[in-house]
Structure 1
């Protein structure tokens, strides 16, 4: 006869073998797994191996003991190892005052030997419910901490009315109401995160959390801890228990950016989580079910993703139920004017600058530029123009944008490259060449140049890339 606690795990600690046998026979009919222990010195090892929902702990160990000091000692040990542990004390008839003392020190309840079966089942059922409540409270507190650390910036719209953007928006509108996983493809700066947010905001999960994580910026050693969480003491720097991004996004959407940069052995771990819909925090013994929708993104080409030497095909099939490709800005030049107007208005407001118009020549220059960094690069160029343009002018000029020569239309000759020793131009050419070599993959480009991703972004902004 089960009582709804099939997956629970209890530990009974008593030096009386008859108590252990009787307790196990009774409680296994109502709870999941019952583990017994006749020596409290084994408690730390058992706690390291199992995640107990409740403890049934004797107050006294050894013949002639009646003061309850041993029980209080091990109660403190359990609480130190797990502050949320739920402990029910066992005491002999006539020692209720000792049990009350134990409750003042953190025990949840007590039962008196010889116990009544109904009473001990009811007491432990309440203990298990309390443990479940404490877990949920801890999860919500940790989720709140993770969300606050991943504070979302101001929302930005998906801009553009070109045929290619209308096709993207149509796909988003059709995929959003479903639970299908979505894979977003496109060069850096094309708006993959904006598309992911649009998918979330128009989905049934819109009231939940949108959690974003850049896998390209995540070191391999922190992969499991960041995504799956960890228990206190699981590794050297684990000073406190922390939930991972999967649990923090419970009921919402998890956006896995730069997934194409994930090594094959970490792809395997991610696949296991997606298949089982469970995560096991580092240092934990029990997997936790998860309810999240996955949206992934990469600037790696679809052809490369289908190379099994580079990306696990079974993981790809899990991720690309719906596949949406964001077009580069150079393929939709008709959208540049709308984007430019939007960000010019935004940054003029931000920096308290009177709104400015674009001359025909300025719009022509912006439209003809190839924008290797796509919308992100255009946005940065407009912000820079708002800050640096003449305050007494009511319009932007092409010079305000400091557009570098378009390497697509005006490549430097070998002789020019060797004779031009200007450091600024050499740096700009080197960055552009590295970006082209790695198909604008920021992580790979930064690694080749010996820079961090943040440093590369600063240099790209500096050179208008």
Structure 2
């Protein structure tokens, strides 16, 4: 269990912060050491090996205010380069935090922090270190945290291995919950830009006004609340990777602005007349059906060509066969550790029930179902009755797939499409399920030009 064997050093000149973090982490990890004086860092890390160091970025009266964390980070990296460092700051300064990541920090957290976020960050870093160590002597599979050994996932891994080292723009396609963000992260971590920033933006949630200020930045006074200059995500990601999630949901106007930036390889912040050159590797993702993206009334073809040098289609969980078993073992072990429970075993019917469910919410739904099972069960053996599937995903999927048309031809056409998709294009099986002959089904396929 990654947390229980971890040793952590916390460095902060605020005694209250040290006490709070010691109380939070002591029950979860092997050892927590706190240090108030950063001048003692060298002797501390020389005397003991730490898995993670949580380092404040601001110390009173030392070096340059606001940059002290960078100074001590570099000292740690020189002395113990294998030690992971999490930076903490009370200042909402993304530029300083990004600089810390470029200098080698593993992550950063803002004060006041959320306990769950700290634990999640530490667990992720430790899990990644353990995964990389375990795979060090294996063939270069480059799978990172992506779990699966099914044929469809092996196809994804092969594509990842070929595409990741290049600077090609990648469009990641797949249903909600399939792990598109993990694919994006794997592309970055296996690229030549791995030591540079990885910046994610959910562009589908940005309003028209926020779209430009968030992506391209702004100058002080550009609008009412612009009290200082701020870099946009394109500029912050320069040298690294920019991941634009939910790209299929942006408006045509936003698409034009994005296309201009990608063509010119430069951004102009709001309120400025000066263009700033950018150097990014672009990864985009969407759950929108490719046929919708091909509709130029909804998405510009010239933008599609820009963002889609290569596409990677992440398969839904229902098509991944034995991966469900592997994922179940992984998540159950993870949640047992998270909630301080003993390791679980599975009843024979537990996996069978998982495999019988089609998981419209994909890996994300599986994760939540197993977390609920681990929390609620009283024994050490997980049984079929411990699995409770939410009706939320089912109702969402049903609603999104239901046509609003009551025209009989439309209803029949959609029924045929649904059954054909379910049976992976097998006409014989589809005809049998529809209750008609193969010849009748062929006539209807011809009628609806399917």
TM-score (norm 1): 0.57
Is the contact made by 2:97 and 2:108 (CA closer than 8 Å) also made in structure 1?
no
Q: Secondary structure at the match of 2:200?
A: strand
Number of the residue aligned with 1:198: 186
2:96 maps to which residue?
A: 141
Contact 2:361 2:393 in 1 (8 A): no
Structure 1 residue corresponding to 2:254, chosen from 266, 290, 309 = 266
Any conservation in 2 of the 1:344–1:383 contact (CA below 8 Å)? yes
Residue 324 of structure 1, aligned match among 312, 319, 338: 312
Match of 2:148 among 160, 175, 179: 160
Answering whether residue 329 of structure 2 is matched by residue 341 of structure 1, we say yes
- 2:398 matches 1:433: yes
Q: Structure 1 residues 338, 428: closer, same or farther in 2, change over 3 A?
A: closer
SS of the residue 1:207 aligns to: coil
2:182 matches 1:182: no
Q: How does 1:48-447 map to 2 (within 5 A)?
A: 140-141=95-96, 143-144=98-99, 148=108, 153=121, 154=124, 157-390=145-378, 393-404=379-390, 430-437=395-402
Question: Does structure 2 conserve the Cα–Cα contact (< 8 Å) formed by 1:256 and 1:295?
Answer: yes
Asked whether the equivalents of residues 199 and 243 of structure 2 are also in contact (C-alpha less than 8 Å), the reply is yes
Aligned position for 1:455: none
Change beyond 3 A, Cα 1:428–1:254: closer
Q: How many residues align?
A: 278
Shift of residue 368, structure 1, vs aligned partner: 1.0
Residue 403 of structure 1 and its aligned partner are, at CA, apart by 2.2
Higher Rg: 1
- The Cα of 1:302 is off from its aligned counterpart by 1.4
Moved segments of 4+, more than 6 Å: 149-152
CA displacement, residues 353-374 of structure 1 (integer Å, 9 cap, x when unaligned): 1110121201000011010110
How far apart are 1:433 and its partner, in Å? 3.1
Q: Is the 8 A contact 1:186 1:325 kept in 2?
A: yes
- Kept after mapping to 2: 8 A contact 1:143/1:243: no
For residues 266 and 187 of structure 1, what CA distance do their matches in structure 2 show? 23
Deviations along 1:36-94, one digit per CA (max 9) or x if unpaired, are xxxxxxxxxxxxxxxxxxxxxxxxxxxxxxxxxxxxxxxxxxxxxxxxxxxxxxxxxxx
Unaligned runs of 5+ in 1: 1-137, 405-424, 439-465
Task: State the shift of 1:434 in Å.
Answer: 2.9
Q: Is the 8 A contact 2:246 2:286 kept in 1?
A: yes
Task: State the SS of the aligned residue for 1:254.
Answer: strand
Kept in 1, the 8 Å contact 2:325–2:351? The answer is: yes
Q: What do residues 191-235 of structure 1 show as CA deviations (whole Å, max 9, x unaligned)?
A: 101001110001000001111111122122200000011111111
In the TM superposition, residue 387 of structure 1 has moved relative to its aligned partner by: 1.1
- Give the direction of change, closer, same or farther, for the CA distance of 1:344–1:360 in structure 2 (3 Å limit): same
State the 1:142 CA deviation: 7.7
Q: Equivalents in 2 of 1:145, 1:231: separation in Å?
A: 23
SS in 1 for 2:322: helix
Give the CA deviation at 1:436. Answer: 3.6
CA distance in 1, matches of 2:402, 2:210: 28
Per the alignment, in what secondary structure is the counterpart of residue 168 of structure 2? coil
Q: Distance in 2 between matches of 1:264 and 1:428?
A: 29
1:25-36 equivalence runs, <5 A: none
SS at match of 2:147: coil
Instruction: Give deviations 1:370-404, integer Å, cap 9, x for gaps.
Output: 101100110111111111111xx121112212125
Q: Structure 2: where are the runs of 5+ without partners?
A: 1-92, 102-106, 111-116, 129-143, 404-450
Give, in whole Å, the separation in 2 of the partners of 1:353 and 1:161: 28
1:429–1:334 CA distance, 2 compared to 1 (3 A): closer
CA contact (8 A) 1:142 1:243 kept: no
Equivalent-residue separation in structure 1 for 2:157 and 2:216 (angstroms):
32
Cα contact 1:227–1:245 (8 A) shared by 2: yes
Aligned to 1:419: none
Distance 2:331 2:300 in 1: 39
Superposed CA deviations along residues 117-169 of structure 1, whole A, max 9, x for unmatched, are xxxxxxxxxxxxxxxxxxxxx99538459985899953671111000000001
Contact 1:205 1:251 in 2 (8 A): yes
Q: Distance in 1 between matches of 2:279 and 2:333?
A: 39
Instruction: Say which SS state the counterpart of residue 296 (structure 1) adopts.
Output: strand
Cα pair 1:184 1:325 within 8 Å, conserved? yes
